């Protein structure tokens, strides 16, 4: 059963979503060649706990040891912040999930260290954001959730990229991972979307194979099986009668996509 959120719950998710987005805005100037992923995590932790007076949903989640996930180059997701030093041209995903007043906001974006990278990395990052945005433009009350996978598959195919199958978007609210499971590749998981459903869309797109490997030593870090680069963007949304509202939109995205999308004309 997919829960329909009340207006009061959606308001709490707006607050949590804004806080998660704010962390990604705050951390941007610190992402430079020479910084470690652990240093970035510690800055996020301090900000979430001491400035936002919120909680990281990741810290302690199924034993996860850090506040954020920081996934560099061939790391698909769940990169554990540590001694890894960033260098110019790296593509870096930071994924932040905060809890405020019992409700969750979950979002991630790609950063390019030093602002420049290879043409392949650039196309991968841009295409992944295009996949997320295109899917967001298809959501409305009455739509079939399969539209997400259909839309993303068309774009990934056009670019010759692959879509990760082992990790998905998810319902979210006063729990981290809830129904529905949101597949990012073409599928037959028919779910009729309804106003008030809240979930994430978070495509992971690989330049090479879709196949992934989980690090056996730490049990978390996911890399591409062929070491090709991977990119991800994530937003938390609420379905509305004629579209959706992006609860984790950042100011920098204005001009690229609206916060409130009217997808039914
Ligand atoms: N934020 C991730 C997601 O989008 C989940 C991270 S779980 C963690 O669903 F334990 F690795 F942090
Ligand atoms: Co998520
Ligand atoms: Co996330």
Reported as a single tens digit per residue, the pLDDT across 181-216 is 999 999 999 999 999 999 999 999 999 999 999 999
Which of 112, 158, 106, 156 is closest to 131 using CA atoms? 156
Tell me the pLDDT of the chain averaged across its residues: 98
Ligand 1 site, residue 130, Cβ cutoff 6 A: no
Ligand 1 site, residue 64, Cβ cutoff 6 A: yes
Ligand 1 site, residue 95, Cβ cutoff 6 A: yes
Residue whose CA is at the smallest distance from ligand 1 atom 4: 106
Task: Give the whole-number percent of the chain exceeding pLDDT 90.
Answer: 100
Ligand 1 site, residue 61, Cβ cutoff 6 A: yes
Residue whose CA is at the smallest distance from ligand 1 atom 2: 95
In this model, does residue 89 exceed pLDDT 80? yes
Ligand 1 site, residue 74, Cβ cutoff 6 A: no
Instruction: Look at residue 225 in the predicted model and tell me its pLDDT.
Output: 98
Tens of pLDDT, residues 9-21: 999 999 999 999 9
Q: Is the distance from CB of 52 to CB of 15 less than 8 angstroms?
A: no
Q: How far is the CA of 232 from the centre of ligand 3 (A)?
A: 10
pTM as predicted: 0.98
Q: How far is the CA of 57 from the centre of ligand 1 (A)?
A: 8
Domain boundary assignment for the chain:
7-262
What is the average per-residue pLDDT within 106-125? Answer: 99
Atom of ligand 1 nearest to the CA of 62: 10
In this model, does residue 265 exceed pLDDT 80? no
Tens of pLDDT, residues 21-67: 999 999 999 999 999 999 999 999 999 999 999 999 999 999 999 99
Q: Let me know the angle formed at the C-alpha of 60 by 239 and 177, rounded to the nearest 5 degrees.
A: 20
- Report residue 116's pLDDT band, with 50, 70 and 90 as the boundaries: very high
State the burial class of residue 254 (Cβ atoms within 10 Å of its Cβ: 0-12, 13-18, 19+).
exposed
Q: How far is the CA of 265 from the centre of ligand 3 (A)?
A: 31
Atom of ligand 1 nearest to the CA of 78: 11
CATH of domain 7-262: 3.90.230.10
Instruction: Look at residue 160 in the predicted model and tell me its pLDDT.
Output: 98
């Amino acid at each position: 059963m997919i829960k329909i959120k009340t207006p009061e719950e959606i308001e709490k998710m707006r607050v949590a979503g804004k806080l998660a987005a704010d962390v990604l805005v705050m951390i941007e100037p610190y992402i430079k060649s020479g910084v470690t992923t652990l240093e970035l995590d510690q800055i996020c932790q301090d900000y979430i706990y001491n400035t936002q007076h919120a909680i990281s949903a990741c810290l302690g989640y199924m034993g996860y040891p850090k506040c954020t996930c920081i996934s560099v180059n061939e790391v698909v997701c769940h990169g554990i912040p540590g001694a890894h030093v960033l260098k110019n041209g790296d593509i870096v995903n930071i994924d932040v999930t905060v809890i405020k007043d019992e409700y969750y906001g979950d979002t991630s974006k790609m950063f390019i260290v030093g602002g420049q990278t290879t043409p392949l990395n650039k196309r991968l990052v841009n295409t992944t954001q295009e996949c997320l945005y295109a899917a967001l433009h298809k959501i409305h009350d009455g739509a079939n959730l399969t539209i997400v996978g259909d839309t993303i598959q068309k774009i990934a195919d056009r670019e010759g990229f692959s879509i990760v199958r082992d990790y998905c978007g998810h319902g979210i609210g006063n729990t981290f991972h809830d129904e529905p499971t949101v597949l990012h590749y073409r599928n037959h998981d028919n779910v009729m979307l309804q106003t008030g459903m809240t979930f994430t869309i978070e495509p992971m797109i690989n330049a090479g194979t879709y196949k992934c490997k989980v690090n056996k030593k730490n049990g978390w870090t996911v890399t591409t099986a062929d070491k090709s680069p991977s990119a991800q963007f994530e937003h938390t949304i609420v379905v509305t009668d004629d579209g959706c509202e992006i609860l984790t939109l950042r100011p920098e995205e204005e001009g690229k996509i609206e916060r409130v999308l009217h997808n039914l004309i």
